[in-house]
Amino acid sequence: MVPQGLIPPVSSADNSPVIACSRLGKMYEIYANPSDRLRQFLWNGARRLGGFRPRRFCQHFWALQDVSFSLQPGETIGIIGRNGSGKSTLLQLICGTLTPTTGTVNKRGKIAALLELGAGFNPEFTGRENVRLSALLYGLSQGELAERFESIIAFSEIRDFIDRPVKTYSSGMYVRLAFSIAAHVDADVLVIDEALSVGDVRFTQKCMRFLRRFQETGTVLFVSHDTSAVVNLCSRAIWLESGKVLRDGPPKDVVENYLAEQHVQDAASAGEEVRIEGKAARQNHSEADKSRHQMSKVHAQLSMGKPIADPWRAAFEVFSFDDQDKHNEFGARKLSIEWADLRNSSGAPIRLLSGGEIVELRVRAQALEAASEVVFGFYVKDRIGQRLFGDNSFERYRTAPVQVAAGEHFEASFRFRMPVMPVGEYSIDVALATGTPESHVQQHWIHDALTFRGHESTMKHGLIGIPMEGIEIVRVSESAVT
């Protein structure tokens, strides 16, 4: 949490940058032992008095060097790079928790910052006391804080712990409270340093919904190792490497180059040589030879009729629907969703499922009033709220719309093959509406009604995988080739 002092406000008619960094650098003096620090101070002080050049008893480490960029109003910039590349240092220089060694940072508007865990809160203060202190530092008046205090606590979902010292909080609780404060201070710019990588999937989804609403009027600068989040959320990306800007441009291009470079470095650490041509990492001849050798082993297995393990596998743990934990729901509520669950092909509730198997999503509801043209729907989303797939019942009942009487209970089922997905956390939104896709009323929508977590997966890249019905490799005769 960073007080903004006399930073000028953002005017809607002013299109000048909200943040402008010019040749920004941060240098640290690294001493081999504590006595060198004293020697540097005393010895060089005496040498300066005598007119001699000072002697250096330390090494200079540049965490950040010659970084220049500007952030325009309404823009969202993602900063990527390996650990130690200077990402967090850059955000701290922008927010004012560090002083630059070289260069300048010009800012305007109110900046709300979620930096690394431990920054901004007094660990001895309770959550309630830290809320009051942080909100006042952000510039809220006592009256504004009083109006928003209950909303801050409700958003954080840690009411039972609000009067405990934050030093007793888990990392997830800390982020919940910090993000909740930042969401209620009317900031012009939101600065986030990997905060969304901590916490459960439901709260992450809530934060992502807030971020998307905030992007409509505000400006965002955030650090993330989640490259899919950068591509999905950002209008621009900056790649930092060894404290310098290596690339600045469209998120897709920057991320593709970054991932290609990471592939090269990972291969090099494993003793393999890989070169980059254009945007893709390509194997050299020795790697191609190794690949051919591996393929020949597959050919041998095929020719001898040996079974090959199913290459598509993913294990997911499913969490039950909690009708007391529906924090994110909306709708006219003439129809109300009561519960939802996932079942296997035999109709039994699922607690563990695998990618590629047939599952059934069931959603039960009650009509509080009579209604016609009833439509159920669902979305499956990843951790950052990207909609991976979904469907609704409209087409199935287009010619015979569903009607329900007041007080009636009714249920929808969606039967589908669960895709293979990477290890991670996922959630399912369920919804109930009346009308048509072109003209309808949302009766009840529950965000994150069900959640599930992937514990293992053969899939490493992309968002979802398609279970193959079959994979076959055959030898081609010379006559067929020619």
Residue range 132-162, pLDDT digits in tens: 998 888 888 889 999 999 999 998 888 999 9
Short-list 222, 278, 274, CA closest to 253? 278
Which of residues 330 and 397 earns the better pLDDT score? 397
448, HSE (Cβ side, Cα atoms, 13 Å):
25
For the entire predicted model, the pTM comes to 0.63
Domains 19-259 and 314-457 agree in fold: no
Distance of CA 4 to the CA centre of its chain: 26
CATH code linked to domain 314-457: 2.70.50.60
β pairing state of 59-71 and 19-30: antiparallel
In whole angstroms, give the CA distance from residue 292 to residue 224: 37
Res 288 pLDDT > 60: no
Res 198 pLDDT > 70: no
The predicted pLDDT at position 252 comes to 82
DSSP lists the bridge partners of residue 441 as 434
pLDDT-derived band of residue 1, with 50, 70 and 90 as boundaries? very low
Task: For 331-387, write each residue's pLDDT tens digit.
Answer: 888 999 999 999 988 888 887 777 778 889 999 999 999 999 999 999 998 877 788
The predicted pLDDT at position 54 comes to 65
Chain mean pLDDT for the chain: 79
Task: For 268-280, write each residue's pLDDT tens digit.
Answer: 666 655 454 444 4
Instruction: List the structure tokens of 387.
Output: 């909609």
Q: Where are the domains of the chain?
A: 19-259, 314-457
Distances (CA, A) of 72 to 75, 235, 236, 246: 5, 11, 11, 20
Assess contact for 383 and 425: CB atoms under 8 A: yes
In three-state secondary structure terms, 242 is coil
Which of residues 35 and 214 earns the better pLDDT score? 214
In whole angstroms, give the CA distance from residue 94 to residue 82: 20
Q: Which CATH superfamily does the domain covering 19-259 fall into?
A: P-loop containing nucleotide triphosphate hydrolases (3.40.50.300)
Res 44 pLDDT > 80: no
The predicted pLDDT at position 415 comes to 92
Among the residues of 141-280, which ranges form H helices?
142-156, 171-182, 201-215, 227-233, 251-269
Task: For 114-135, write each residue's pLDDT tens digit.
Answer: 876 555 788 899 999 999 998 8
pLDDT-derived band of residue 467, with 50, 70 and 90 as boundaries? low
Res 315 pLDDT > 80: no
The predicted pLDDT at position 290 comes to 39
CB atoms within 10 A of CB 359: 18
